[in-house]
Amino acid sequence: MTEASSRQLGENLRAARQAAGLSQNELAVHSGIHVATVTKAEDGLTSPTVTTLLRLAFALDCKASALLEGVELTAPRPRRR
């Protein structure tokens, strides 16, 4: 995922969290994810795994696709042997 995509995902996550009326800590508790992971994802510093994304979406009562709105996904390059 590109840096711009990580930022977009973070913006989407923050907007969904705020719309749900949750703090970062509350989202962390509801999703079972460490608050530092939530913070880093919102700040665009890390890309959450699929499992983490699904847990966040469930806690926010939204579809994971809503969190990925406007995010350009790229396939990883195959490894050379």
CATH number of 3-67: 1.10.260.40
Tokens of 7: 């930022």
8-49 tens-digit pLDDT: 999 999 999 999 999 999 999 999 999 999 999 999 999 999
- pLDDT, position 78: 74
Q: What is the pTM of this model?
A: 0.88
Contact by Cβ (8 Å): 72, 5 = yes
The angle formed by the CA atoms of residues 23, 29 and 33, to the nearest 5 degrees, is 105
What is the model's pLDDT at position 74? 76
The residue that leads in pLDDT, 74 or 57, is: 57
Decide: 9 and 41 in contact? Cβ < 8 Å: yes
